[in-house]
Structure 1
Amino acid sequence: MRTLIVSDLWPWVSPSGGAQRLNTVTRGLNTLGPVDLFVMSGVGEPSAPPPGTVLSRFHCVPESATWFSLKQGLLEGMLGRPGGRVLRTRRTMVAELRRWVAGTSYDVIWYNREFNWLRGHGAIDVPSIVDVDDCMDVLLRRWVEVRQNERAEPLSPVSRLRIEREIAWWRSAHRRVSRGANLLVLSNVRDRTRFGKARVALVPNTYAPPSGSPSPRSGGPRSSVLLFQGFLTYPPNVDAARWLVEDIAPLVREKVPNLRVVLAGRCSDRVRALARHPGVEVTDDVEDMGLVVRQADVVCVPLRVGAGTRIKILEAFAHGVAVVSTSVGAEGLDVVAGEHLELADVAGPFADACVRLLLDTNRRTHLAKTALSLYEKNYQPKSATDALVSAVEGVLSDSKRRSS
């Protein structure tokens, strides 16, 4: 069996959750046979793949090479940015896909997210699978709810109207993809209702097991550390970091004076600026995030905007560190509040949960242990690979049955 993945990102360039998921998918598909990767991206040709890549071959087409017209510009103004981007790039993607794969036979094509199916479908006549991962209409609606645009800036009336158009466009896109693809893959079972009667499979987000045993910080006099880690140029993470530092941490510090808040990961200037607050440390370009996680007392996931599932919680679980999260942050994970983590959606209760865990070592240890057990059972890469292989084999079986 040979698979073609069509994407707009590379699995080894970005530390984002989407890139991590694509890497897991690529490795899972490789257990079934050779995997090729076609990328149309606005960031250009990436660095060479790291040692151990499982790709047979890959190809990049820069989006800057796609053509644009006044008519498309007007349509983009009416449809919003994603619709305009599809119109602007579809012709080039289809042509380049057909040119690059000429002479190569594929058994299945895997589209990384709906957007790439919308601009690439029909290029190759083989069964198609779409990894939805994030429902963008959900993400945009949550930005409106916190009165910000998708760049984590104050929401203007003009931006709100544009976002409402884009939400409607994405909901229409869900219907098109549901009718056109052979299978939709979701990371969050709650998204199932958005796709009508489409055939759906659940492939969970996972996290690779860390080397060695989980080893949280030892006791003794020291500061109490709250950690928020991740790709901190991503606007939902920027909003979360700001909310943690400006609204939650001051409430925690009233009860825990030695509090230290650590923001770790590739940062934007807006996140770096948060270091001006007392007790806040910003750590950019972390070489070993696992070490940073293990040095925390509590990992915070104060996300107010998001879709899909968040890998940063699984990272904390795998390293044996207790978690306080919003409901949005933990969405899509099979967790129970008070058993695997603490949940709170308002600054005051979120701060109270952090205080309880920082002051109660036994409670913190209990949550970390039960969360680690859940991670080991359900969220290691094998879980995703098993679900992925089952889904692909089902699609191929149906395709053979129809053609016979």
Structure 2
Amino acid sequence: MSRVLYLAHRIPYPPNKGDKIRSYNTIRHLAQNHEVDLICLADDRRDLKHRKELSALCRKVAVLPLNTFKAKVNGVCSFLKGATISERYFYRRRFQRIFNAWTRETPYDAVICFSSPMAQYLLEDDFIATKGGSMRLVMDFCDVDSEKWVQYAAKHGPLPGMVFRREGMRLLDYERRINRLFDHSIFVSEKEAALFKGRCRDARNISVVPNGVDCDYFHDGASFRASAPRDPTLMFAGAMDYYANVEGVSWFCRAVLPAVSRTLPGTVFNIVGSNPNASVRALAEKDGVNVTGFVEDIRPWYREADLCVIPLRIARGVQNKVLEAMAMGKAVVATPQAVEGIGARDGEHVVVADTAERFAASVSSLMASPEARTTLGRAARLYVEREYTWAGNIRKIRTMVS
């Protein structure tokens, strides 16, 4: 049984947001055939209690709290010194000490880093030069993070835009360095892999491991079905302190929902997800908009929805929120950015709309036809059952660490 050390920038439990869903399921499936140790950060102290759930999967678990205020200060200081914000934001000396101690004590067969800032712990004290050759080094980039900063720059004013563009450039240099040092570099989709290869002409050992969805958990079972809604009901699910989600629902409420409501009076838009920031909470003041905050079980909200909308205009890779909605058998209307890594066909598995006008028209058209929604939802469910199982997708990572 191979021994694997897994480093994550955010505790992989509960699996209720994109990065945590991917890291949790990777660990869950690796643990079936490998001995896994985990070191991770927790930027929400409420998540510290979940160490016991991870201990059921892992031989050893270390969860370290991350003070986000101090992390931001460290990130800014790092940027002013010519490095990236991202690295020092996620750096903890105690994390480094635990990593050093565990790698001295245990002859790991492989180290997996989830998210590029975790690689910095391997760059200290010549670790790769002295010990890296005896173990396989795997970087799960997931998305091309440097490209996200470029997208952020386009959405902000001159000064923050300049900072974000510079961060993107520096982070790309850092990602290129990691790719040269690690044995395997993983991306979540062929498009993300192609983007990285285009940015780094000398990229090597690139693999694609898509996300998955737990189709046994996410299903539109009649025994769980909520009562039929009285009004036309739309839904978006996601962490509501994440900029891309906040920007997306704000745009939808401003540019799309009024047109839908004129066609379908009484339309309800449920924004379901943890930690809604002030701008998201303010959306609840609009007619028909409901902001839930954290929910224990998201499935009843999916079942109550007539239609799921994914209005992301900033997105990379494979969006778990799209896969979950499809697994629930829901008709989905999404922007091109939200589905570009999934491979679903427009009009067959989802409906893709690239402008506010087309988005509103697509929503209104589907809401007027229960048969069309049912047909689209069934095709969506069959598609994710065929293409997006965790067990099948994680098999490739197993071969990298065995």
Establish whether residue 209 from structure 1 lines up as the match of residue 215 from structure 2: yes
Matches for 1:190-205 after TM superposition, within 5 Å: 190-193=191-194, 194-195=196-197, 196=201, 197-205=203-211
Partner-residue secondary structure (3-state), 1:96: helix
What's 1:12 paired with?
13
Distance verdict in 2 for CA 1:93–1:281, change over 3 Å = closer
Establish whether residue 252 from structure 1 lines up as the match of residue 260 from structure 2: yes
Establish whether residue 57 from structure 1 lines up as the match of residue 66 from structure 2: no
What's 2:38 paired with?
37
Task: Kindly provide the CA deviation profile for residues 82-112 of structure 1, in whole angstroms up to 9, marking residues without a partner as x.
Answer: 25547xx387654431123332111000001
Q: 2:233 aligns with which of 225, 235, 240?
A: 225
Q: Is the 8 A contact 1:325 1:342 kept in 2?
A: yes
Q: What is the rounded CA distance, in whole Å, between the counterparts of 2:219 and 2:315 in structure 1?
A: 30
Q: Is the 8 A contact 1:201 1:391 kept in 2?
A: no
Task: Kindly provide the CA deviation profile for residues 2-49 of structure 1, in whole angstroms up to 9, marking residues without a partner as x.
Answer: 100012211115622101110011012112211000125555681143
What's 1:373 paired with?
382
Matches for 1:296-315 after TM superposition, within 5 Å: 296-315=305-324
Partner-residue secondary structure (3-state), 2:308: strand
Task: Kindly provide the CA deviation profile for residues 158-191 of structure 1, in whole angstroms up to 9, marking residues without a partner as x.
Answer: 2111111101112112210111110011112112
Distance verdict in 2 for CA 1:91–1:101, change over 3 Å = same
Task: Kindly provide the CA deviation profile for residues 24-79 of structure 1, in whole angstroms up to 9, marking residues without a partner as x.
Answer: 11012112211000125555681143547311111244566x99x99x93763533
Q: Is the 8 A contact 1:208 1:381 kept in 2?
A: yes
Distance verdict in 2 for CA 1:102–1:40, change over 3 Å = farther
Distance verdict in 2 for CA 1:309–1:75, change over 3 Å = closer
Q: 2:356 aligns with which of 347, 351, 361?
A: 347
TM-superposed deviation, 1:119: 3.7
Establish whether residue 237 from structure 1 lines up as the match of residue 240 from structure 2: no
Q: 1:96 aligns with which of 74, 95, 98?
A: 98
What's 1:135 paired with?
144
Give the letter aligned to residue 204 of structure 2. Answer: A
Give the root-mean-square deviation of aligned CA atoms. Answer: 2.9
Q: Is the 8 A contact 1:3 1:35 kept in 2?
A: yes
Distance verdict in 2 for CA 1:77–1:252, change over 3 Å = farther
Establish whether residue 181 from structure 1 lines up as the match of residue 182 from structure 2: yes
Distance verdict in 2 for CA 1:204–1:54, change over 3 Å = same
What's 2:287 paired with?
278
Establish whether residue 116 from structure 1 lines up as the match of residue 118 from structure 2: yes
Matches for 1:324-339 after TM superposition, within 5 Å: 324-339=333-348
Partner-residue secondary structure (3-state), 1:314: helix
Q: What is the rounded CA distance, in whole Å, between the counterparts of 2:331 and 2:266 in structure 1?
A: 19
Partner-residue secondary structure (3-state), 1:276: coil
Distance verdict in 2 for CA 1:104–1:237, change over 3 Å = same
Q: Is the 8 A contact 2:193 2:207 kept in 1?
A: no
Once the two structures are overlaid, the 10-residue window that deviates more, 249-258 or 7-16, is: 7-16
Once the two structures are overlaid, the 10-residue window that deviates more, 207-216 or 116-125, is: 207-216
Q: Is the 8 A contact 1:304 1:329 kept in 2?
A: yes
Q: Is the 8 A contact 1:339 1:367 kept in 2?
A: yes
Q: Is the 8 A contact 2:14 2:50 kept in 1?
A: no
Q: Is the 8 A contact 1:93 1:120 kept in 2?
A: no
Q: What is the rounded CA distance, in whole Å, between the counterparts of 1:24 and 1:47 in structure 2?
A: 19
Once the two structures are overlaid, the 10-residue window that deviates more, 259-268 or 37-46, is: 37-46
Q: What is the rounded CA distance, in whole Å, between the counterparts of 1:323 and 1:63 in structure 2?
A: 36
Distance verdict in 2 for CA 1:118–1:316, change over 3 Å = same
Give the letter aligned to residue 242 of structure 2. Answer: Y
Partner-residue secondary structure (3-state), 2:142: coil
Establish whether residue 107 from structure 1 lines up as the match of residue 113 from structure 2: no
Q: Give the number of equivalent residue pairs.
A: 382
Distance verdict in 2 for CA 1:221–1:306, change over 3 Å = closer
Q: What is the rounded CA distance, in whole Å, between the counterparts of 2:66 and 2:284 in structure 1?
A: 36
| Identical columns (%) | 23
Task: Kindly provide the CA deviation profile for residues 322-372 of structure 1, in whole angstroms up to 9, marking residues without a partner as x.
Answer: 000111111210211111000112111111111111011121111111111
Give the letter aligned to residue 54 of structure 1. Answer: L
TM-superposed deviation, 1:210: 3.9
Task: Kindly provide the CA deviation profile for residues 296-326 of structure 1, in whole angstroms up to 9, marking residues without a partner as x.
Answer: 1110000011222110111111111000011
Q: Is the 8 A contact 2:263 2:364 kept in 1?
A: yes
Q: What is the rounded CA distance, in whole Å, between the counterparts of 1:242 and 1:212 in structure 2?
A: 27
**Structure 1 length as normaliser, TM-score?**
0.86
**Any unmatched runs of 5+ in structure 1?**
148-154, 394-404
Q: What is the rounded CA distance, in whole Å, between the counterparts of 2:273 and 2:41 in structure 1?
A: 26
Q: What is the rounded CA distance, in whole Å, between the counterparts of 1:50 and 1:359 in structure 2?
A: 47
Q: What is the rounded CA distance, in whole Å, between the counterparts of 2:42 and 2:217 in structure 1?
A: 33
Partner-residue secondary structure (3-state), 1:309: coil
